[in-house]
Amino acid sequence: MTFRRPISPTERMYFPMRDLAPPFLMQLVIPGTGGIDAERLRQAVEVAARACPGARLIRRGKNWIDSGIAPTVRVVAGHAVADPNLEADPVLTSPIGPSAASTVEILLLTGSPTTLVFRVFHGVMDGMGMVLFATSVLRVLRGDAPEEFPDPVADAELVRRIGAPGRPTVMAPTYRTAVGHGRQEPGAPRHLLRRRTIHASGPGALARIAARLAERTDGPSRIMMPVDLRRHDPALRSTANLALPLFLDLTPGTPWAAVKEQIKSGLAARRELNQMAATRLTQVPDAANRALLRSLNKMGADRGRNLASATVSHMGRFTREDLAVPGFEPTAIYVLPQHSIAMPLLFALMEFDGRTELTVSARNGAGLEARLDTLLDDLVQQLERELPVHP
């Protein structure tokens, strides 16, 4: 039978974002030494996608269905990622292909360094789903069997099955950010995309960043931490959207250890499950949803009032041995977060061989670029000072 599943309320919320914050993709970037044969990569993607129908989805009304067609592998000859001003990269900012219905795409950049980029529309997968599919493709390139992800289950169905312990957190646009705000100027990029490498890694990085953001914010902060719902059902094999937010309410001066305790207590109480009920807002007509998102963006840019101060997520820990394939040895792995209308800052962390890759998508505005770069430099210095350095 053809794989199909209902589009969840969370996923429905993401459809207008493709027009409002293009290209609205999560992108997993793996640079490395050596090379990858394009045809061998296409074959590996086809094999992995057969085991993971969530990588082949197209929309049919209120459902996602398996198209039966593997994601396209697009070779961009001679191109290298435009680090550090990633929002200026013409490839990373291009639409997903080969058609408007496409939901997953793989890029092979043959410049120096050779780079794999897995590009995913957030409406079909969450960040962890993207990582699971990408690492399955690498398994196939190594000659191993792909991982199987046959379950047509997303967040709404899982929460209905296991239940939520309480009510959702009330959301109101009252929170400022660590970089302030600025009116969005015609002709300037609507969003900024940045990466920093921290030559240290260890427990507590997310909590330390959240505490530092609160320290640099005028007034109380609300940090949104996506939580992987797969933890509630370890047998679940799905790459769908299975993440809900745990909100951390902080004031300037909150120690990072206190942030860590707030995370632990929230996870123990399963509070992230409560937020499924908040997605009922997405049941409004699409036109109303778009108008709401535009209003939230303008309120954040012009007045510095946001539903949350920032999102901070940790996307996993890897080594060269985890990711290497014949002829290609990765030198890093990092996630480029999707742009957002309602969220001013989206941070992502990944650890690789004792280093921490920190990336951020930020709503742009007058004066924001310099303040963002200063904030990132500050975070790098703090984490390299406080986290263990691995030779």
Q: Within a domain: residue 175?
A: yes
pLDDT of residue 84: 83
Q: Within a domain: residue 262?
A: yes
As a whole number of angstroms, the distance between CA 54 and CA 100 comes to: 17
Least confident of 68-77, 82-91, 155-164, 231-240: 82-91
DSSP class of 344: S
DSSP class of 98: S
Distances, alpha carbon 55 to alpha carbons 156, 202, 203, 217, in Å = 19, 32, 32, 39
pLDDT at residue 189 is higher than 90 = yes
DSSP class of 282: G
Q: Which residues pair with 77 in a beta bridge?
A: none
pLDDT tens per residue across span 307-330: 999 999 999 999 999 999 999 999
What confidence category does residue 286 fall into, taking pLDDT thresholds of 50, 70 and 90?
A: confident
What does pLDDT average to over the chain? 96
User: 364 and 191 in contact (C-beta within 8 Å)?
Assistant: yes
Count how many domains the chain has.
1
pLDDT of residue 225: 98
User: 269 and 333 in contact (C-beta within 8 Å)?
Assistant: no
pLDDT of residue 281: 64
Q: Is residue 237 classed exposed, middle or buried when 0-12, 13-18 and 19+ CB atoms within 10 A define those classes?
A: middle
Coil/strand/helix, residue 216: coil
Q: Within a domain: residue 391?
A: no
pLDDT tens per residue across span 151-181: 999 999 999 999 999 999 999 999 999 999 9
Q: Which residues pair with 72 in a beta bridge?
A: 105
pLDDT at residue 391 is higher than 80 = no
pLDDT at residue 292 is higher than 90 = no
Q: Is residue 80 classed exposed, middle or buried when 0-12, 13-18 and 19+ CB atoms within 10 A define those classes?
A: middle
User: 309 and 213 in contact (C-beta within 8 Å)?
Assistant: yes
pLDDT of residue 288: 82
Give me 174's structure tokens.
């009252």
Q: Within a domain: residue 165?
A: no
Residue type, 283: Q
DSSP class of 113: S
Q: Within a domain: residue 161?
A: no
What confidence category does residue 284 fall into, taking pLDDT thresholds of 50, 70 and 90?
A: confident
Share of the chain above pLDDT 90, in %: 92
pLDDT tens per residue across span 40-61: 999 999 999 999 999 999 999 9
Strand-strand pairing, 4-6 and 191-198: unpaired
Q: Which domain holds residue 196?
A: 4-150+171-386
pLDDT of residue 198: 97
Share of the chain above pLDDT 70, in %: 99
pLDDT of residue 258: 98
The residue written with tokens 């993207």 in the block is: 130
User: 186 and 366 in contact (C-beta within 8 Å)?
Assistant: no
Q: Average of pLDDT values for 108-130?
A: 98
pTM value surpassing 0.75:
yes
